Amino acid sequence: MNRKITVLTVCAMLFALCGSVDAQQAGKVLRIGILDSSTASGSAVLVDAFRQELSKLGWIEGKTITIEYRSVEHLGPERMPELAADLVRLRVDLIVVTGVQSALAAKKATTTIPIVIASAPDPVGLGLVASLARPGGNVTGLSSLTPELNTKRLEILTDAIPKLARVGLLWQPARAAGGGDIQLKDLRAAAVALKLKLEEIETQPDARGLESAFQTVKQKQVGAIMTSASRPFFAERKRIVELAAKYRLRPFTFEGVCR
């Protein structure tokens, strides 16, 4: 099963625990806020899976729950705190966040509304929770192994191309302060250990940005490419695959998958 969909299933269960049976019986409509660091189109399948799992647990949108969806699409990541504050003003009963940036914004906006993280690398190091065993506060959810797996992703590329010397990395600079810096640190160290030259290409994960990034990657004559493991790049996975084929840049690793 798709790992991301499994994550949203867990979120649905946590929400079910958050809301009381008495509230359902009393006819109260509970409100969920979804704070997305990606795009609505890129997250559509995941949000749909979230709705389906809630439905299986007896939470029906429009009857027992309402969903307030907020995304930085067309706004820019700098608007995330504003979107988080908007959900708090609406007095939602739970905030589901899709990544590090949205988690940090939500945590800053409220210390009382429960926050569920779909996935985040090193939530302890980022200050989101006190510890994995005892998160404390109002934040819980799942921690990803992204930083730990970055070395393995590079190893996969060297296995696929024995004489590989240069790897292109697509990353979004605005996300560095929200967990991306952890990935970059680990990737740089892994590249040195594997005797690889890591070409870091800053880009926005949209049509224009990705097209320009692939042109740059081609000019640098890299032997393979990879993306930082983040929701915006995951949401644009189809476009990235198409561009990789267009520019004949294979193989590549994407969220731990080798193509």
pLDDT (tens digit per residue) in 149-191: 777 888 888 888 888 999 998 888 755 444 556 678 878 888 9
- Residues 165 and 122 reside in one and the same domain: no
The answer for residues whose C-beta is within 8 angstroms of residue 184's C-beta and 6 or more apart is: 171, 176, 200, 228
- Residues 197 and 103 reside in one and the same domain: no
Q: pLDDT confidence of 236, banded at 50, 70, 90?
A: confident
Question: Which range of residues forms the domain containing residue 115?
Answer: 3-144
Domain boundary among 95, 129, 144: 144
Higher pLDDT, 144 or 128: 128
- Residues 124 and 156 reside in one and the same domain: no
- Residues 79 and 201 reside in one and the same domain: no
Domain boundary among 129, 144, 159: 144
- Residues 11 and 136 reside in one and the same domain: yes
Percent of the chain, pLDDT > 70?
79
Higher pLDDT, 218 or 6: 218
Distances (CA, A) of 198 to 42, 163, 167, 224: 27, 15, 5, 10
- Residues 57 and 127 reside in one and the same domain: yes
Q: What is the pTM of this model?
A: 0.65
The one-letter amino acid code at 253 reads T
Please tell me the distance from the alpha carbon of residue 193 to that of residue 8, in angstroms, as a whole number.
Answer: 36
Order of all β-strands in the sheet with 252-254: 197-202, 166-171, 224-227, 252-254, 257-258
- Residues 38 and 88 reside in one and the same domain: yes
**Is pLDDT of 225 > 90?**
no
* pLDDT of amino acid 5: 42
Are the CB atoms for 259 and 251 separated by under 8 Å? Answer: yes
- Residues 7 and 134 reside in one and the same domain: yes
Mean of pLDDT values over 206-225: 89
- Residues 91 and 179 reside in one and the same domain: no
* pLDDT of amino acid 8: 53
* pLDDT of amino acid 145: 66
Residues 45-92 pLDDT 10s = 788 888 888 888 888 888 999 999 998 876 777 889 999 999 999 999
Looking at residue 204, which CATH number applies to its domain? 3.40.50.2300
Mean of pLDDT values over 202-231: 85
- Residues 56 and 177 reside in one and the same domain: no
- Residues 100 and 153 reside in one and the same domain: no
Domain boundary among 144, 176, 200: 144
Average pLDDT for the chain: 79
Could you give the number of structural domains in the chain? 2
**Is pLDDT of 9 > 80?**
no
Q: pLDDT confidence of 2, banded at 50, 70, 90?
A: very low
**Is pLDDT of 18 > 60?**
no
- Residues 136 and 8 reside in one and the same domain: yes
The one-letter amino acid code at 187 reads L
